[in-house]
Structure 1
Amino acid sequence: MGATRFFGSQVGGQAVINYAYTDLPSRLLMWDIYYFFYYAWALPWILMPIGTGDDWPNSGHLDELAWTWQNAFCIVVHAVLVVLQMLFLLWLPFVVVLPIWTAAIGFAVFFTVNWALCLLLNGPSIEYHSDPHYAPALPEHADEQWIFINGVAVGDHWMRNNLNRLALTFKRPVLGIHNRTSGIVFDVVECLIQRNLSYATSDVRLAYRIVKQKLYEPRFSRVIFILHSQGGIVGGLVLDWLLQELPQDLLSKLEVYTFGNAANHFNNPHRHVISQALAQDDPLAALTTTTTEITQKTRTTSPISSLAPGDSFQTRELPEEDVKGGQNGSESRSGLPGTPSLRETTSSLSSTRTSSAARDRALGHVEHYAHTTDFVALWGVLHFCTSQTAQRTIPRFIGRLFARASDRGGHQFCQHYLNGMFPLERDPNTGRLVGCAEDNEFMESEILVGSEDTVGHHAREAFEISWLGSGGFGSGDVPAEVAVHGVSRRKSKGVVKVKELSRLWMYRNGMSPPDVQPWLVIEKGVVRNTEKLPRYSREEGTWADMG
Structure 2
Amino acid sequence: MAQPPPPPTRPPTAKPTNDTRFFGSQIGGRSVINYGYTDMPWKLMAWDVYYFFRFFWAIPYILWPLSPADSAELSELSPTWGNVWAVAIHLVLCVVQLAGIAVLPALVVLPVWTAAVLIGLFFLVNKVLCALLNGKEVEYHSDPKYAPELPEHAHEQWIYINGVAAGAHWMQSNLNRLAVTFKRPILGIHNKTSGILFDVVECLIQRNWGYATKDVRVCYQIIKQKLYNPQYSKVVFILHSQGGIEGSLILDWLLQELPQDLLSKLEVYTFGNAANHFNNPHRHIRTQTLAKRNPLAACIDSIRLTHDHEPPRVPRLRQPQPRPSSSSSSSSSSPSDAEPPITNQTRNGKPNPPTTTTTSTIPPLSSSSTSPHPSQLSDRAIGHIEHYAHTTDFVALWGVLHFATSSPSSQFIPRFIGRVFARTSLRGGHQMVQHYLDGMFPLARDPATGELLRDRENGVPLGAEEEGNEFMESEVLVGGGGDGTGREGSGEQEDEDDGEEEVEVHGVSPVLERKGSLLSLSLKEGRKRREGVKVKVKELSRLWQYRNGRSPEETPPLLVRGADGVVRNATM
With normalisation by structure 2, the TM-score equals 0.73
The residue type equivalent to 1:86 in the other structure is: L
1:446 aligns with 2:490: no
Aligned residue for 2:45?
A: 29
1:361 aligns with 2:380: yes
Distance 1:219 1:482 in 2: 46
Question: Which of these residues, 488, 493, 501, is aligned with residue 540 of structure 2?
Answer: 501
Larger RCO (alpha carbons 8 Å, 6+ apart):
2
Unmatched segments (≥5 aa) in structure 1: 295-352, 533-547
Q: Any idea what SS the aligned residue of 1:267 has?
A: coil
The residue type equivalent to 1:384 in the other structure is: F
The residue type equivalent to 1:434 in the other structure is: L
8 A contact 2:290–2:507 mirrored in 1: no
User: Aligned ranges for residues 527-538 of structure 1 at < 5 Å?
Assistant: 528-530=568-570
1:175 aligns with 2:216: no
The residue type equivalent to 2:146 in the other structure is: Y
Change (3 A) 1:485 1:5: farther
Aligned residue for 1:198?
A: 210
Query: Which segment is superposed worse, 397-406 or 474-483?
Result: 474-483
The residue type equivalent to 2:63 in the other structure is: L
8 A contact 1:280–1:460 mirrored in 2: yes
8 A contact 1:46–1:411 mirrored in 2: yes
8 A contact 1:3–1:448 mirrored in 2: no
Aligned residue for 1:144?
A: 156
1:189 aligns with 2:201: yes
The residue type equivalent to 1:116 in the other structure is: V
Q: CA deviation at 1:529?
A: 2.4
The residue type equivalent to 1:515 in the other structure is: E
Change (3 A) 1:76 1:3: same
Q: CA deviation at 1:94?
A: 2.5
Distance 1:244 1:399 in 2: 19
Change (3 A) 1:285 1:130: closer
Q: Any idea what SS the aligned residue of 1:256 has?
A: strand
Aligned residue for 1:310?
A: none
Aligned residue for 1:436?
A: 464
How many residue pairs match? The answer is 462
The residue type equivalent to 2:422 in the other structure is: A
The residue type equivalent to 1:30 in the other structure is: A
Question: Which of these residues, 279, 287, 291, is aligned with residue 291 of structure 2?
Answer: 279
8 A contact 1:424–1:436 mirrored in 2: yes
Q: CA deviation at 1:285?
A: 7.5
Distance 2:507 2:386 in 1: 14
8 A contact 1:130–1:163 mirrored in 2: yes
1:258 aligns with 2:270: yes
Q: Any idea what SS the aligned residue of 1:496 has?
A: strand
More strand per residue: 1 or 2?
1
Distance 2:249 2:532 in 1: 38
Distance 2:81 2:400 in 1: 33
Q: Any idea what SS the aligned residue of 1:363 has?
A: coil
Distance 1:483 1:74 in 2: 57
The residue type equivalent to 2:38 in the other structure is: T
8 A contact 2:22–2:485 mirrored in 1: no
Query: Which segment is superposed worse, 97-106 or 130-139?
Result: 97-106
Query: Which segment is superposed worse, 496-505 or 468-477?
Result: 468-477
8 A contact 1:266–1:397 mirrored in 2: yes
Aligned residue for 1:337?
A: none
Distance 2:508 2:425 in 1: 23
1:374 aligns with 2:393: yes
Change (3 A) 1:472 1:223: farther
Unmatched segments (≥5 aa) in structure 2: 1-16, 302-343, 346-353, 355-361, 366-371, 455-460, 494-504
8 A contact 1:260–1:376 mirrored in 2: yes
Change (3 A) 1:202 1:386: same
Distance 1:460 1:443 in 2: 30
Change (3 A) 1:156 1:455: closer
Q: What per-residue deviation string (whole Å, max 9, x for no partner) do you get for residues 431-460 of structure 1?
A: 422101012000000003474349999328
Q: CA deviation at 1:466?
A: 12
Distance 1:376 1:467 in 2: 39
Q: Any idea what SS the aligned residue of 2:439 has?
A: helix
Distance 2:210 2:231 in 1: 32
1:73 aligns with 2:85: yes
Q: CA deviation at 1:487?
A: 7.0
Aligned residue for 1:292?
A: 363
Change (3 A) 1:285 1:476: closer
Q: Percent identical across equivalent pairs?
A: 61
Q: Any idea what SS the aligned residue of 1:93 has?
A: helix
8 A contact 2:373–2:555 mirrored in 1: no
Query: Which segment is superposed worse, 179-188 or 383-392?
Result: 383-392
Question: Which of these residues, 253, 263, 270, is aligned with residue 282 of structure 2?
Answer: 270
Distance 1:98 1:485 in 2: 72
Aligned residue for 2:445?
A: 426
Distance 2:250 2:59 in 1: 28
8 A contact 1:204–1:234 mirrored in 2: yes
Change (3 A) 1:476 1:230: closer
Change (3 A) 1:513 1:467: farther
The residue type equivalent to 1:420 in the other structure is: G
The residue type equivalent to 1:513 in the other structure is: P
User: Aligned ranges for residues 290-439 of structure 1 at < 5 Å?
Assistant: 291-292=362-363, 358-387=377-406, 392=411, 395-426=414-445, 431-432=453-454, 433-439=461-467
Q: Any idea what SS the aligned residue of 2:535 has?
A: coil
Q: Any idea what SS the aligned residue of 1:218 has?
A: coil
The residue type equivalent to 2:520 in the other structure is: V
Distance 1:517 1:472 in 2: 13
Distance 2:539 2:168 in 1: 35
Aligned residue for 2:320?
A: none
User: Aligned ranges for residues 153-168 of structure 1 at < 5 Å?
Assistant: 153-168=165-180
Aligned residue for 1:312?
A: none
Distance 2:568 2:67 in 1: 45
8 A contact 1:387–1:452 mirrored in 2: no
The residue type equivalent to 2:263 in the other structure is: L
Query: Which segment is superposed worse, 415-424 or 440-449?
Result: 440-449
Q: CA deviation at 1:364?
A: 2.2
Distance 1:176 1:203 in 2: 10
Distance 1:184 1:270 in 2: 37
User: Aligned ranges for residues 15-54 of structure 1 at < 5 Å?
Assistant: 18-52=34-68
Aligned residue for 2:14?
A: none
Aligned residue for 1:510?
A: 549
Distance 1:467 1:371 in 2: 35
Q: Any idea what SS the aligned residue of 1:292 has?
A: coil
